A and B are shown apart, each in its own frame.
Chain A
Amino acid sequence: MLDSKVPAGPLAEKWSKHKFDMKLVNPANKRKFTIIVVGTGLAGASAAASLAELGYNVKTFCYQDSPRRAHSIAAQGGINAAKDYQNDGDSVFRLFYDTIKGGDYRAREANVYRLAQVSVNIIDQCVAQGVPFAREYGGLLDNRSFGGAQVSRTFYARGQTGQQLLLGAYSALNRQIQKGKVESYTRHEMLDIVKINGEAKGIITRDMVTGKIESHAGHAVLLCTGGYGNVFFLSTNAMGCNVTAAWRAHKRGAFFANPCYTQIHPTCIPVTGDHQSKLTLMSESLRNDGRVWVPKTIELSEKLRKGEIKPKDIKEDDRDYFLERKYPSFGNLVPRDVASRNAKEMVDEGRGVGKSGVAVFLDFADAINRLGKDTVEAKYGNLFDMYYQITDENPYEQPMRIYPAVHYTMGGVWVDYNLMTTVPGLYCLGEANFSDHGANRLGASALMQGLSDGYFVIPYTVGDYLAKIGNFNPVDHNNPAFEQTRKEVEDYVNKLLSLKGSKTVDDIHKKLGHIMWEYCGMARTAEGLTKAKGLIQELRKEFWSDVCVLGKNEELNMSLEKAGRVADFLELGELMVVDALERNESCGGHFRLESQTEDGEAKRDDENYAYVAAWEYKGENQPEVLHKEELVFENVKLTQRSYK
């Protein structure tokens, strides 16, 4: 049985009690410890800066050319916090409750409550750093609404909230680099962790410019490496986002939890063709003012697709605002999983729009009439421009076409309440872990979680571990484990470089993406998942027998970079399918067609599946072993989620 290490006591007091119970490292001793942070997004940059401020020595690693480019930068809409500045009835408990409910009761109560508690500190911290959040005329902070909530608790900086928050964390990180407390390695990719006596004591990296494969030693290792949405090939993730760091850690003993929980975001720009390299999100905030609709009849949809009529030719009575019709209380602001499934349902019925018929409308005509074009532009201008650039259609004049796309992964490396994985000394923060969003993440909660983990959780919990190991000597870099692991990585890289088949890495990646989207996307069945498992196994064989990796190690080599990442995606993809098959219920983003209510909503099976599925790696081609962490709900009542 997995021990979540959730402290005893009433929910609201767990964190403060735990903070007192944890051991401290005295200031003079902190400088004797080195902490390795992999990834410099919101979680990684905030953790690295905060730990360095405390006096620890920190080394950071990122694959981009600068820490500022981590994909947190692309988050658009906002960050939640239970400030109740709007006097609309918000509270820590309400944010906790909304997040647990939004996650379809598949997250750990104590973690989510802590997240809601520290959410208020995050906003204070970011404002103090000079993050230019949107303001009211009186100079106070402005808020907007997001899906799955009936209060306005989302802080934002136009459509670039992630950018501003990341640049805030990056500035804090820069300050520590300047002070010599953080050593920053850019264009470096982590390829393995090093364990000594079962504990994480370092990592192996490849310098992507010189190809040099090196080991780095530290007293603790923090993985802040983001999600694995790119297993689908097409997603809203950046091109470089990958699962490699998390997956290699998994193969060294870190359990991987709930891999099948992926979020398909409802409002993305639809796919145009096979050449497509990524999908672009249109922020959820647009659903504050945009209305989602399709024509009432298949005939009208067909005319639209053929270009015989334009959207504005369709009369109000002939439009089906399906979210407003089906969910009168939440309307267009239902959670993401619900909005996505409904869009798919419309398309499956043949009422989709756009040339391909695989899209629905997001219409701003009413908002422009009500608020004026200038107001709409001030709120969403950059998003409208982005849409126009990509589609060549003007969203001020005609409705946007949107369709769901892979956006976020709720699953990830299993961590306990302290964010430690099943490998002692190895921690996992932000999207890379599984902890706070259950089976579906609410909008504006990813930024909150990344910064909560980095600024306000890890500085305490990692100290507790370091105080307990109580060994102030540097990690012995001469321990043979370092050279042995380094050599294994080098051999693996050489093995990849020896592949001289006929397929490109992208060929295989695209095929994997199609399999995942078809069988492990918005709707899943036992039959489809079983089939997908076989297909992925075959594809993996094809990769290792017929892919072509060009060039050598000692150069910037995109062929090699991609090959290593796709090899890991192939293994992860299979585990996702296995996990989805094992979870014979629907919950949040995991929708099994076999398990739905009469209304077609996700039907949970709390009696049999109220647990976290944590998978243990057992060796190549061995089935992974399932460990369960029972989810205990003492403060919320499990109900069928309803947004009607």
Chain B
Amino acid sequence: MSGHLNLTLKIWRQKNTNDKGQFVTVQAKDIADDMSFLEMLDVVNEDLTRKGEDPIYFDHDCREGICGMCSLVINGRPHGPKYGITTCQLHMRSFHDGQTIVIEPWRAAAFPVLKDLAVDRTSFDRIQQAGGYVNINTGGAQDANNILIPKRVADEAFESATCIGCGACVAACKNASAMLFVSAKISQFALLPQGQTERYERAQAMVDQMDAEGFGNCTNTGACEAECPKGIKLTNIARMNREYFTAKFFRQEDVHA
């Protein structure tokens, strides 16, 4: 434990959305291996600031793997080399002394770069706004235990609901498809009794918005599932497709209800 690393970072720098952008090489010296990856970037930024140079902008907030704000493609992999964690949970003990680390933003047409490593993910919000909810107002709910949900169903819905909306699935996909993200929410509500009323309307509205945002199609490569820090399963996409086809071919009367 507590060794120290010297690293060469090749970092994407881009002033704003319209700037062309380029890789810039920065040395990170004397990095403790019990630092998190973002703490390593903090150290680099403190050095840059002391030298009067613009620090590297990256998105981050909770730093415990749940808010979904941090991103970064590290050596070609969203959220770095380890499975099942976000960049903020990645620690420097996963790297070795003398290593070169390439750090890029999420790359997708629907995620324009704002500055350096930060991208605009409001397209995700718009997809959720299109139908990622149950249409009920505050106040009229029945007693919670009147809705019985088998544990198996509740657990499966929960697994889908744990998506943090980080966008790693899009960054991992050669088509920049957002299907894993969209299908997670559609699945949660397709499984639960509370979601049945608007099941088909929801699937169609969310998929239509996803297409309108310019995300690509799914070709079943599975990179999204492999890189998802929350282990959202590919079966969600299968379920979404089923919901969507059913909506399109058999349940249009429900969609327009």
**Chains A and B come from one and the same complex:** yes
A99 within 8 A of B: no
Q: 1/0 per position for A102-130, CB-CB distance to B under 8 A?
A: 00000000000000000001011111111
Give chain B residues whose Cβ lies under 8 Å from the Cβ of A167: 161
Set of chain A residues within 8 Å of B38, measured between Cβ atoms:
277
A126 to B188, CA, bound (A): 14
A8 is an interface residue with CB less than 8 A from chain B: no
Nearest-neighbour CB distance to chain A for B135, whole angstroms, equals: 7
Chain A residues positioned under 8 Å from B129 (CB to CB): 174-175, 177-178
Q: Is residue A27 contacting chain B, with contact meaning CB distance below 8 A?
A: no
Whether the pair B151, A136 counts as a contact (CB closer than 8 A) is yes
Interface members, chain B 116-166 (any A CB < 8 Å):
118, 120-122, 124-125, 128-130, 132-145, 147-151, 154-155, 157-158, 161-162, 164-165
Q: Contact check: which of A71, A186, A456, A556 meets B67 at CB < 8 Å? A: A71
Partner of A133, one of B16, B34, B154: B154
Q: Would you give the 0/1 interface string for A233-277, flagging 1 where the beta carbon is closer than 8 Å to chain B?
A: 000001110000000000000000000000000000000110111
Residue A551 at the chain B interface, CB threshold 8 Å: yes
B5 to chain A minimum Cβ distance, whole angstroms, is 12
The residue from B57, B141, B192 contacting A558, defined by CB atoms under 8 A apart: B57
Q: Tell whether, in the assembled complex, residue A175 and residue B133 are in contact, meaning their CB atoms are under 8 Å apart.
A: yes
- Given known pairs A138-B148, A163-B66, the reply for A174 and B54 (CB within 8 Å) is no
Residues of chain B within 8 A of A186, CB atoms compared: 122, 125
A residues near B114, Cβ cutoff 8 Å: 209, 556
Pair B39/A275 contact, Cβ less than 8 Å: yes
Specify which of B65, B93, B164, B195 is in contact with A386 (CB 8 Å cutoff).
B65
A578 shortest CB reach to chain B, Å: 30
- Closest beta carbon of chain A to B209's beta carbon, Å: 10
| Contact residues of A between 160 and 196, Cβ < 8 Å to B | 160, 162-164, 167, 170-172, 174-175, 177-178, 184, 186
Q: Is B46 engaged at the interface, CB distance under 8 Å to the other chain? A: yes
CA distance A13 to B85 in the complex (A): 49
Known: A127-B141, A174-B132. A277 touches B192 (CB 8 A): no
B257 at the interface (CB under 8 A from A): no
Interface assignment of A368: CB less than 8 Å from any CB of chain B: no
A550 touching B54 by the CB < 8 A rule? yes
Which A residues are CB-close (under 8 A) to B81? none
Determine if A276 and B67 form an interchain contact, defined as CB atoms under 8 angstroms apart: no
The residue on A at minimum CB distance from B142 is: A124
Asked if B239 CB lies within 8 Å of chain A CBs, one says no
Mark contacts of B51-90 with chain A using CB atoms, 8 A cut-off: 1 yes-contact digit, 0 otherwise.
0111101011111111111000000000000001100010
Least Cβ distance of B201 to chain A in Å? 12
**Do A277 and B63 touch (CB < 8 A)?**
yes
Q: Which residues of A contact B66 (CB under 8 A)?
A: 73-74, 160, 162-163
Distance in angstroms from A241 CB to nearest chain B CB is 8
Which secondary structure dominates chain B's binding surface? loop
Greatest chain B CB density within 10 A among A53, A139, A390 is at A139
Q: Are B49 and A53 in contact (CB under 8 A)?
A: no
Minimum distance in angstroms from A559 CB to a CB of chain B: 7
- With A174-B133, A277-B63 already in contact, the answer to whether A135 and B55 are too (CB < 8 A) is no
Q: A66-B124, A130-B189, A171-B128 are in contact. Are A135 and B154 (CB under 8 A)?
A: yes
| Residue in B closest to A385 when the chains form the complex, CB atoms | B84
CB contacts (< 8 Å) of A558 on chain B: these are 45, 55, 57
Q: Is the CB of A69 closer than 8 A to any CB of chain B?
A: yes
A74 adjacent to B195 (CB under 8 Å) = no
Residues of B within 8 A of A140 (CB): 145, 148
Q: Assess the B138–A125 pair: CB atoms within 8 A.
A: yes
Q: Which among B42, B143, B164 is the interface contact of A124 at CB below 8 angstroms?
A: B143
Contact with B along A272-298 (1 / 0, CB 8 A): 110111101100000000000000000
- Decide if B238 is an interface residue (CB 8 Å cutoff): no
Tell me how far the C-beta of B69 lies from the nearest C-beta in chain A, rounded to whole angstroms.
5
Count contacts on A: residues with CB < 8 A to the other chain.
Answer: 80
Known interface pairs A132-B192, A275-B42; A73-B62 also in contact (CB < 8 Å): yes
A157 CB-CB contact with B under 8 Å: yes
Complex partner residue of A130 from B64, B128, B194, CB under 8 angstroms: B194
Tell me the bound Cα distance from A453 to B91 in angstroms: 38
A456 neighbours in B (Cβ, 8 Å): 138-139
Q: Is B255 interfacial (CB-CB < 8 Å)?
A: no
**B13, CB-defined interface residue at 8 Å:** no
Which of A83, A126, A277 has the largest count of B CB atoms less than 10 A from its CB? A277
A538 contacts the other chain (CB 8 A)? no
* Cα–Cα distance between A83 and B141 once the two chains are bound (Å): 15
* Cα–Cα, bound, A49→B134 (Å): 13
A67, B121: Cα distance in complex, Å: 12
Contact with B along A43-80 (1 / 0, CB 8 A): 00010011001000000000011111101011000000
Across the interface, B157 reaches (CB within 8 A) one of A132, A139, A141, A184, namely A132
A448 in the interface (beta carbon within 8 A): no
Q: Is A411 part of the binding interface, using a Cβ–Cβ cutoff of 8 Å? A: no
B49 near A171 with CB under 8 A, answer no
Tell whether, in the assembled complex, residue B154 and residue A129 are in contact, meaning their CB atoms are under 8 Å apart. no
Instruction: Decide if B61 touches A127 in the complex (CB within 8 Å).
Output: no
**Complex interface: chain B residues within 8 A of A392 (CB):** 1, 34, 91, 93
Contact residues in A for B132 (Cβ distance below 8 Å):
171, 174
Query: Are B39 and A172 closer than 8 Å at their CB atoms?
Result: no
Q: Which residues of chain B are near A136, meaning CB under 8 Å? A: 151
> Taking the nearest CB of chain A, how far is it from the CB of B12, in angstroms?
14
Give the contacts of B7-58 with A (CB-CB under 8 A): 15-16, 32, 34-36, 38-39, 42-43, 45-46, 49-50, 52-55, 57
A178 vs B208: C-alpha distance when bound (angstroms): 14
In the complex, what residues of A have CB within 8 A of residue B59's CB? 65
A389 at the A/B interface (Cβ < 8 Å)?
Answer: yes
- Alpha-carbon distance A126/B145, docked complex (angstroms): 12
Interface: B107 (CB within 8 A): no
* Cα–Cα distance between A171 and B137 once the two chains are bound (Å): 11
**Is residue A158 within 8 Å, beta carbon to beta carbon, of the partner chain?**
yes
Are the C-beta atoms of A240 and B89 separated by less than 8 Å? Answer: no
Per the 8 Å Cβ criterion, residues 196-222 of B in contact with A are: none
B122 contact set on A, CB distance < 8 A: 65-66, 186
Nearest 10 pairs of A and B residues by beta carbon? A139-B148, A171-B133, A128-B141, A124-B141, A132-B158, A127-B144, A50-B138, A238-B61, A135-B154, A130-B194
Q: Could you list which residues of chain B lie within 8 angstroms of chain A, going by C-beta atoms?
A: 1, 15-16, 32, 34-36, 38-39, 42-43, 45-46, 49-50, 52-55, 57, 59-69, 84-85, 89, 91, 93, 114-115, 118, 120-122, 124-125, 128-130, 132-145, 147-151, 154-155, 157-158, 161-162, 164-165, 188-189, 192, 194-195
Q: Which residues of A contact B (CB under 8 A)?
A: 46, 49-50, 53, 64-69, 71, 73-74, 83, 85, 121, 123-130, 132-141, 157-158, 160, 162-164, 167, 170-172, 174-175, 177-178, 184, 186, 209, 238-240, 272-273, 275-278, 280-281, 385-386, 389-390, 392, 455-456, 459, 502, 504, 506, 548, 550-551, 555-556, 558-559
**Could you name 12 residue pairs across A and B whose Cβ atoms are closer than 8 Å?**
A65-B120, A127-B194, A139-B151, A158-B158, A174-B128, A178-B129, A239-B61, A389-B85, A502-B50, A506-B46, A550-B55, A556-B57
Other than A130-B133, A506-B46, A558-B45, give 16 A-B pairs with Cβ distance below 8 A: A64-B67, A65-B121, A66-B125, A68-B128, A71-B61, A74-B64, A83-B145, A132-B192, A163-B164, A175-B133, A238-B62, A386-B65, A392-B1, A504-B46, A548-B52, A555-B16
